[in-house]
Amino acid sequence: MNNDLSIGNGYGKSILYNEHFVVYNIPAIVSAIGMKTTATIYQSDRFQLVDERLETLGYKKEKQDHQKQSLQNMFKAMKLTPEQTKVKIMLLGDLVAASGIGASAASCVAIARALNNYYHLELSNEEINQVAYEGEKGYHGDPSGIDNTAATYGGLIWFQRTSGGSIMEKIKIKKPVEIVIGNTGKIANTKKAVEGVRQRKENHPEKYEDLFDEAEKLVYEARKALENFDLRETGRLMNENHRLLQEIEVSSKELDLLVNTALDTGAFGAKLTGGGLGGNMIALTPSKELQKKVANVIEKKGFKTLKTVIGISSGGKNS
């Protein structure tokens, strides 16, 4: 055992295309954002989790049971026994604990990395990702794995769930692009949102088949637009993706208001991001000036915003 404190980080994320569709093996694009959660481990006489992350009011309380289950899953996956884990884990960092920005996955990756460092487990990135995936199950039940993948590897990622696991490819873009994330202030229940889509898909198979076909076609065009650094097209396809998400009924009054406000203020594109029914909206706002302008107008309407970037390259192993 290591008596020194150990640290681990996990990136926040924003899904640029195809949340929900990704659950049904349709490719999605996700980007790590320039904010992360840090887990620090201190020696202690008992297990303690001290969660000092900033939060959307009520988020941490609401997720307390999920967090407990998530920790249990991760300890099991790391083959750590309760006797071994007499440690204090402190969660901090500049990623707000909120719905839709990968807060749970970032915390799972941060904890897995910190424990890996503390106990010298020598886990690879792939294994950290796997442990975090088990942790994510504590929050979401049957997650696609997109959040923990972004939180582990950082950067811009093409992600596809398959019957035998998942495919992940890095997408390279010319330079990071400014975004605004607008928070509805409503804590989203991803599990409920995913379940709602499943039920409606079962009840209206033909409608949903068409929508899912559109989502699949769109994401290939979006990848091309990003790789060509065609930000107008990237934004237009985000708007199209939001329309599809509205059609599968995972948007909300507040999310639509945030999207329309961002677009009216000059954003290149905007959509809900993550589970929806609350949580966050992402707007593509290339340039610091446009980013500031869009964030200011949203804040004037009483919503909180984050100004960050997509497409930052990832840090090294175990960072």
Q: Which residues bind ligand PMV (CB under 6 A)?
A: 19-20, 22-23, 99-100, 102, 140, 143-144, 146-147, 188, 190, 194, 274-275
Q: How far is the CB of 275 from ligand PMV (least distance, A)?
A: 3
Cα four-point dihedral sign 280, 285, 287, 293: negative
Between 102 and 135, name the residue whose CB sits nearer to ligand PMV: 102
Between 117 and 241, name the residue whose CB sits nearer to ligand PMV: 241
Q: How far is the CB of 138 from ligand PMV (least distance, A)?
A: 12
244 vs 252: CA distance, rounded Å: 13
276 vs 14: CA distance, rounded Å: 12
Between 97 and 123, name the residue whose CB sits nearer to ligand PMV: 97
11 vs 35: CA distance, rounded Å: 6
42 vs 304: CA distance, rounded Å: 33
- Provide DSSP, 126-193: HHHHHHHHHHHHHHHSS--SHHHHHHHH-SEEEEEEETTEEEEEEE--SS-EEEEEEE-SPPP-HHHH
Q: How far is the CB of 253 from ligand PMV (least distance, A)?
A: 18
CA dihedral 25, 29, 32, 33 (to 10 degrees): -130
Between 100 and 286, name the residue whose CB sits nearer to ligand PMV: 100
Between 6 and 53, name the residue whose CB sits nearer to ligand PMV: 53
Judge contact between 258 and 166, C-beta under 8 A: no
Going by C-alpha positions, the residue among 153, 157, 154 that lies closest to residue 128 is: 153
Q: How far is the CB of 151 from ligand PMV (least distance, A)?
A: 10
**Residue 225 is which amino acid?**
A
Q: How far is the CB of 15 from ligand PMV (least distance, A)?
A: 6
Q: How far is the CB of 114 from ligand PMV (least distance, A)?
A: 21
Q: How far is the CB of 22 from ligand PMV (least distance, A)?
A: 5
Going by C-alpha positions, the residue among 181, 182, 157 that lies closest to residue 170 is: 157
Between 23 and 237, name the residue whose CB sits nearer to ligand PMV: 23
159 vs 308: CA distance, rounded Å: 22
Between 38 and 144, name the residue whose CB sits nearer to ligand PMV: 144
- Using alpha carbons only, what angle is made at residue 112 by residues 109 and 114, rounded to the nearest 5 degrees? 105
Q: How far is the CB of 108 from ligand PMV (least distance, A)?
A: 11
Give the CB-nearest residue to ligand PMV: 274
The residue length of the chain stands at 319
Between 99 and 130, name the residue whose CB sits nearer to ligand PMV: 99
Helix (H) or strand (E) holding 194: helix 190-203
Tokens of 251: 């948007």
